[in-house]
A and B are shown apart, each in its own frame.
Chain A
Amino acid sequence: FRTFPGMPKWRKTHLTYRIVNYTLDLPRDAVDSAIEKALKVWEEVTPLTFSRIYEREADIMITFAVRNHGDFFDFDGPGKVLAHAYPPGPGINGDAHFDDDEQWTKDTSGTNLFLVAAHEFGHSLGLEHSKNPEALMYPVYNSSTDLASFRLSQDDVTGIQSLYGPPPA
């Protein structure tokens, strides 16, 4: 695993997230549950907890956007870049952006929103890309992941716990 230079991390254990807008690829409740499930992946192995807010600035702002969306890192249409996220901190930091030119799906027939969201939230919490191909934080999307048996790799767990420690006993 790798953390960002300077090891930015959240200095609090309770974080807020806000789903700013929605992709039209999925029903809203499917987006809500994919995001919730993706955050729970990290919640289960750290002291961190997440709660959703519907207005104001959240720690993790979640948006779907295409091409130029105002942060100097344009998306590139279908394929290639799927999403990106920013390390912990104020403002855009901690936020996660998803390329709405992808076909977001509940399963792996398109681009699975849960898998990509879980990876991006790893960045939102302070993890960089891992060189371990088995890790969720490996940069290349693995469409053959078995969603039913998905678990964080030990590399991911060791990485996030190097920042926040394990969950309370």
Chain B
Amino acid sequence: HPLNGAARDEEDSMDLVQHYLEDYYNLAKDAKQFAKRKDSSPVVKKIQEMQKFLGLKVTGKLDSDTLQVMHKPRCGVPDIRE
């Protein structure tokens, strides 16, 4: 079934978050659906690392400030390397 607007937005957001954490914060790539693991400790840890690096409130959650920064244009060099 075609996703409705909200569901599609949610999926787009998860896509953005997954790539952001993989590309810039060295989150291990994983074939499992990201939405299902976004509350897992490795992902929460990476969200916290990203929030700390970028000077955001460290919540470990995908709050609006965190998602807003992830949508901003930026440099392609990773923030955290292996």
Residues of A that sit less than 8 Å from B by CB: 5, 73, 75, 79-85, 99, 102, 111, 116, 119-120, 123, 128-129, 131, 133, 138-141, 143
Contacts and interface: CB of A to CB of B under 8 A. Distances in A.
Interface of B: 24, 52-55, 69, 71-77, 79, 81
Contact of B72 (A75, A120, A123, A141): A141
B77 A140 contact: no
A83 B75 contact: yes
Contact of A139 (B52, B71, B77, B81): B77
Contacts of A120: 75
Contacts of A102: 73
A84 B76 contact: yes
A95 B50 CA distance: 26
A140 B76 contact: no
A131 B54 contact: yes
5 contacts: A82-B75, A131-B54, A139-B74, A139-B77, A141-B72
Contacts of A82: 73-76
B77 A141 contact: no
Given A131-B53, A140-B74, A141-B74, 13 more contacts: A80-B73, A81-B76, A82-B75, A83-B76, A99-B76, A116-B75, A119-B75, A129-B53, A129-B75, A131-B54, A139-B77, A140-B72, A140-B73
